[in-house]
A and B are shown apart, each in its own frame.
Chain A
Amino acid sequence: MKLMKFAAIGLALALTGCAATGPKFAEAESAAPALKADQGRVYFYRNASMLGAALKPAIQLDGIEVGNSHQGGYFYVDTYAGSHVAQTSTETTNKVSFVLDKGETKYVKTSVSMGLMVGHVVPELVGADQARKDLSELSYTGAKAAK
C-alpha cells in the first residue's frame, strides 16, 4: 500500500515536471513586441492534457527549430508573409502547411495521439476564436529562434 502511495506521488511529481511553467498568456501578451509591418505571427501551443505529457518534441518552422511542444505551453514566432510548413517528429513526422499574410496571425495547435511505440505530436491549424480560448490557460515557454 505504501509502495502504491510513493508510486502515485512520484508519478504526480514527474508529470507536474512536464508542464510548462512560464507566465500565463494574459501576462506574457502584455509584454509581447509589436509585429513588424512585413511580417505575420504564428502561435504554437499545446493544451494541458496529461496524455503524453513527457513528450516534448521540437517544432520546426520551414526546417528551422523554433521551440518545443510542451504540455500546457505556447510560444510565437514572427516571420515573413508567404507559404510556411510547420512540423513535429517523434516516430513519425507530421506537417501542416499554410500561408501567412502581412499582419496576419495564425495558430498551430499540437496534440498528442497514439503511436505504435511512441505517441505522435500532431500539428493542426486552429481558428483564432478557438485558439484564443485555449491560449488563455497556457504558459509562455519562449521561442528558440525567430526569423
Chain B
Amino acid sequence: MLAGCASVQHVPVAISPATGHAALVPKSIASEVIVPLATGYQRKLPAGSFWTMAGTIPQGTVYRRHRDVFTLEGAHVHEAYLVVEQGRLVGFYLPAESGFSPQQPSLPITLQE
C-alpha cells in the first residue's frame, strides 16, 4: 500500500534525438516482459508491441511506444520510454522531466525489426 504511493525516482539526463532510418522503423518486442517497478506497481510490455527509437542517453538506447503511450506509475503518473542496453531493459526515460529512472534489476528484452 505504502510502496504504491512511492514516487518514481529519476535523475536528470540529456537525450540525443534519433535521426534517419532508425527513427522511422518501429521494432517489436519478441516476448512479453513483466516489469516490477520500485514504486510497487507493475507494468507489462506486450509481445508484438511496437516501439520507435527516440534517441540515446548515456544509459542506453531510448525507445518510444509507437502510436500509443506508455507510463510509469507511483505517487503520480509519468509518460515513459524504454531504455535498452545490450539486450536488457535498464530503465526508463521520462520525457517530460528529461529524467532517467533505473530499473533494478535490469531485465532481458529483445526488440526486433
A residues at B contact (CB < 8 Å): 83-85, 94-99, 106, 122-129
Contact = CB atoms under 8 A, between A and B. Distances in A.
Give the dominant DSSP class at A's interface.
strand
Contact of B76 (A84, A97, A106, A129): A97
Given A96-B76, A97-B79, A99-B79, 13 more contacts: A83-B96, A94-B77, A95-B77, A96-B71, A96-B77, A97-B77, A98-B78, A106-B69, A123-B77, A124-B71, A124-B73, A125-B69, A126-B69
Contacts, number: 48
A98 B65 CA distance: 13
A52 B95 CA distance: 32
Interface of B: 65, 67-69, 71, 73, 76-79, 94-98
A109 to B, nearest CB: 11
Nearest to B8: A97
A47 to B, nearest CB: 17
B79 A125 contact: yes
Contact of A125 (B67, B77, B97): B77
B68 A97 contact: no
Contacts of A124: 71, 73, 77
B68 A129 contact: yes
Nearest to A84: B96
Contacts of A106: 69
Contacts of A122: 77
